[in-house]
Amino acid sequence: MRTVLAREMGGCSVLGRFWGVWRRRPGVRAVPKAPGFGTEAGHRLRPRGSSKRSRPLGGQPFPGLLQLENLSREELVDVLRAAVVDQKGKPGELTLFSVLPELSQSLGLGDQELQVVQASGKETSGLVLLSSCPQTASRLQKFFIYSRRAQRPTATYCAVTDGIPATSEGKIQAALKLEHIDGVDLVIPVKSPSRKDFQEGVKRTLSHFHVVAMGSGCALVQLQPLTVFPSQLQVHMVLQLCPVLGDHTYSARVGTVLGQRFLLPAESTKPQRQVPDEALLRRLCLTPSQAAQLPLHLHLHCLHLPGMRPGEAPMKLLAPLPSYFSRTLQCLGLHQQ
């Protein structure tokens, strides 16, 4: 299996991710295989920088987190171009989709249009897979669909959770649906769904989880979704009473009384800013106002892909952690065991 390491780039307040770009033309940057984060991961996820305790951030929310409003279209294209990891194979709105034509030109693809093959939620950092070849895109989509049917994970995320799961690893299963509540689309768990519920959009979802490290009441968790549903991983971790750090949408569903956590009714619990307790704020060296801007600590670290030609070895694309994510691991002492 070949391993390709994504170049680091800052997260974006709207797109909120690292981008990996897949296009046809030779030119692979490989890294040696090494034991590391998750199953057969080829890159050890270690907090970067000094081992000394991080200093307070002052007025700057999070190092390495790009603010979309501070970027021009040209700068966003440059950031995307710099994030190419493997070279093979709405008007006026500044988003990934809106700059795909400029990115295509910048990469020298001419009239070939880039399309998104694989992506996670807009607040999630990590890899986004793009293709300028319809045949390659179709083949990869079929590969992902087949892998899900065979219950073989193709994506590995890492997350920092506020709270520690009761078991070190396992499966999370839940029936989920999307509901429009007070002008916002929210994911709601459905207990004992009926056949009618499934006909009306309820879907069974499944994720694997593995606790990599624990400390300061938090955990570094590896997550592998085996189904695709909006915000699936965030909701699954809430169901474990361990919301993802920086989840300002679903974390409010976890209540606490006398140190004991419990689930609040999802239908009647409105989204609100996640408020870490005082001890966690001190560990993170954050003020309450900075904590209110805490990015979602959910990162698409690895994608497993098939060989692009007959007889070619499978490939793993890897994206390094954002600097704010690494800083959080350092503050919490969450290091790989």
Length of the chain: 337
SS3 40: coil
Distance CA 334, CA 70 (A): 32
Picking from 27, 31, 54, 28, the residue whose alpha carbon sits closest to that of residue 41 is 31
H helices of 109-154, in order, are 134-149
Question: Could you tell me if 275 and 254 are in contact, meaning their C-beta atoms sit under 8 angstroms apart?
Answer: no
Q: Residue 122 has what pLDDT? A: 77
For the CA atoms of 115, 117, 120, 121, what is the dihedral angle to 10 degrees?
30
For residue 323, what are its two tokens? 């600097």
Helix (H) or strand (E) holding 83: none
For residue 190, what are its two tokens? 């459905």
H helices of the chain, in order, are 73-82, 100-106, 134-149, 195-199, 232-239, 278-284, 288-291, 323-332
Domain spans in the chain, listed from the N-terminal domain onward: 158-291
Helix (H) or strand (E) holding 178: strand 169-181
For residue 177, what are its two tokens? 């649906």
Degrees (nearest 5) of the Cα angle 114, 295, 33? 60
The secondary structure of residue 11, as a DSSP letter, is E
For residue 241, what are its two tokens? 């009473």
Q: Residue 237 has what pLDDT? A: 98
> Average pLDDT for consecutive 10-residue bins of the chain (337 residues)?
48 30 32 32 36 50 61 72 54 69 81 82 86 89 93 96 96 96 93 92 97 96 96 97 97 93 94 93 92 94 88 89 94 82
For residue 249, what are its two tokens? 């949408």
Name residues whose C-beta falls within 8 Å of residue 246's C-beta, 6 or more positions apart in sequence: 274, 294, 295, 296, 297, 298
For residue 304, what are its two tokens? 């497993």
Distance CA 218, CA 234 (A): 15
Q: Residue 34 has what pLDDT? A: 31
